[in-house]
Amino acid sequence: MSRFRMLVVFMLLLVLGVSATSAIAQDEGPLRISYVVNAVLGDKSFFDSAQRGMDRAMDDFDVEVNTIELGTDPANWEPGLDDAMADVDNYDMLIVGTFQMVDFLAERAHLYPDKYFILFDTAVPYDDPEVCVDGCQNVYSVLYAQNEGSFLTGVYAAAMTQSGLEGTNPDPIIGVIGAQSIPVIDDFIVGYEQGACLVNPDITTIVQYVGGAAAWNDPARAKEITLAMYEQGADIVFSVAGGSGVGMFEAAEEQGRYALGVDSDQATIIMDTNPDQAQRILTSMMKNVDNSLYRAVDLFLKGELVFGQAEALGIEELGVGLAYNEIYEENTPENVKELIKAVEQAVIAGDIEIVSTLDPENPWQVGAGCDAMPAANFDVSAYLGEE
């Protein structure tokens, strides 16, 4: 575990002092779960990954899941969550994700002390009594070290852009599109930038955001941005834009260039319906939301899930990583595969300290440049050779 993530977890535990494990015995019927989506399913990314975790839980455990889609209008999210939480006769556990829902959940959790809540991809402010009235002792938060996963993605993109793969050019230029310039999205981006810099300190990483009210679901805008990046010399572009990323994949297919997915194995998801487009997605940065929620339900049913605290899952815990599917295997040179494996081990060993926008001691900024990146105890030339 990296120094920063150890610090985050330690601080949370120190503030909380004592947390409660789940102590529920489902003797009377199945565990009833409400999964609240502050969007709609079908993004082939983040929310769909969470739903897959719920589907697996229903297959393997005595669990019923009611999925509630609140739509893409943010004005509906707070009242929608309020209604779902107040429907106390129809759930035992409620699961919701993303930073937009933090305060909505935290401010109400104490009203339902006999219910359990799981928040994913962010954490409630356990130490803020104005938001967490009773310390949110019935809320478990699961975080993903997206900067670690994106670091691997940046290493991969920088290595592949000069690999000679058909559709790439020798110019050290890659791109990344975020939905909005917010801390969690920028945490993806700075990790991606740092990973690219590890491979080539002279690389250019073009950064742009979809923006606007429909930032997470605007494929047309994402496609427009991607096409512009390809024109500027980027041949591989990383999507951190939810449903908007669909437009990036369209652009990659049309131009014979490449894209990198996010959160889920996005190539595999569309392989049956659009195999040509899937072939342009070399890999995806996996936020294993499905695994983390399945794991949480499993631990809960065993009485082992600890509430009143956050847990951070990174490369070491298999919380994040790359999608090693057949497209990755077919297109990635052996030396790049070996590089990725070695970087994973170096991160776990602490030989590479990955920057973060969320580090309270040293919050990183997008676009800081390769010269500002911390030194790493890692020899890239052992895998790629000298430039």
Task: Tell me how far apart the alpha carbons of residues 295 and 298 are, in angstroms, rounded to a whole number.
Answer: 5
Q: Are 313 and 290 in contact (CB under 8 A)?
A: no
Both 78 and 171 in one domain: the answer is no
Task: Tell me how far apart the alpha carbons of residues 96 and 80 are, in angstroms, rounded to a whole number.
Answer: 11
Q: Are 114 and 32 in contact (CB under 8 A)?
A: no
Both 251 and 116 in one domain: the answer is no
Across 338-354, average pLDDT: 97
Task: Tell me how far apart the alpha carbons of residues 222 and 245 are, in angstroms, rounded to a whole number.
Answer: 6
DSSP characters over 223-266: HHHHHHHHHTT--EEEEESGGGHHHHHHHHHHHT-EEEEEES-H
Domain extent at residue 135: 3-145+289-313
Residue 3 has pLDDT above 50, yes or no: no
Both 116 and 153 in one domain: the answer is no
Q: Are 189 and 183 in contact (CB under 8 A)?
A: no
With respect to residue 387, please indicate whether it lies within any of the assigned structural domains: no
* The pLDDT value given to residue 2: 47
pLDDT band at 318 (very low <50, low <70, confident <90, very high): confident
* The pLDDT value given to residue 24: 53
Task: Tell me how far apart the alpha carbons of residues 154 and 147 are, in angstroms, rounded to a whole number.
Answer: 10
Both 339 and 198 in one domain: the answer is yes
Sign of the CA dihedral running 199, 205, 211, 215: negative
Residue 300 has pLDDT above 80, yes or no: yes
With respect to residue 366, please indicate whether it lies within any of the assigned structural domains: no
Per-residue pLDDT of 207-221, as tens digits, reads 999 999 899 999 999
* The pLDDT value given to residue 26: 47
Q: Are 259 and 252 in contact (CB under 8 A)?
A: yes
* Beta strand 116-120 pairing with 139-144: parallel
* Contacts with 307 (C-beta within 8 Å, 6 or more apart), sequence order: 19, 20, 21, 22, 116, 137, 138, 139, 140
Residue 249 has pLDDT above 50, yes or no: yes
With respect to residue 216, please indicate whether it lies within any of the assigned structural domains: yes
Q: Are 54 and 64 in contact (CB under 8 A)?
A: no
Residue that the structure tokens 């790439």 belong to: 168
Per-residue pLDDT of 40-58, as tens digits, reads 998 777 798 899 999 999 9
Both 198 and 341 in one domain: the answer is yes
Both 112 and 168 in one domain: the answer is no
Both 186 and 108 in one domain: the answer is no
* The pLDDT value given to residue 49: 87
Per-residue pLDDT of 100-132, as tens digits, reads 999 999 999 999 999 999 999 999 999 999 999
Both 211 and 294 in one domain: the answer is no
Both 171 and 125 in one domain: the answer is no
Hey, how many other C-beta atoms are within 10 angstroms of the C-beta on 386? 5
Mean pLDDT of the chain: 92
* Angle subtended by helix axes 146-160 and 334-349, to nearest 10: 150
Both 65 and 195 in one domain: the answer is no
SS3 of 130, please?
Answer: coil
Instruction: Give the range among 4-8, 48-52, 149-153, 245-249 with minimum mean pLDDT.
Output: 4-8
* The pLDDT value given to residue 101: 97
Residue type, 261: G
* The pLDDT value given to residue 16: 38
Q: Residue 45: which CATH number?
A: 3.40.50.2300
H or E element, residue 35: strand 31-37
The 8-class DSSP code of residue 310 comes to E
Both 137 and 65 in one domain: the answer is yes
With respect to residue 381, please indicate whether it lies within any of the assigned structural domains: no
- Whole-model pTM: value is 0.78
Instruction: Give the range among 9-23, 39-53, 262-276, 371-385 with minimum mean pLDDT.
Output: 9-23
Both 230 and 203 in one domain: the answer is yes
What is the chain's Cα-based Rg? Answer: 21
Q: Structurally, how many domains does the chain consist of?
A: 2
With respect to residue 187, please indicate whether it lies within any of the assigned structural domains: yes
* The pLDDT value given to residue 385: 77
Per-residue pLDDT of 323-332, as tens digits, reads 999 999 999 9
With respect to residue 117, please indicate whether it lies within any of the assigned structural domains: yes
Instruction: Give the range among 12-26, 49-63, 290-304 with minimum mean pLDDT.
Output: 12-26
Per-residue pLDDT of 154-198, as tens digits, reads 999 999 999 999 999 999 999 999 999 999 899 999 999 999 999
* The pLDDT value given to residue 19: 53
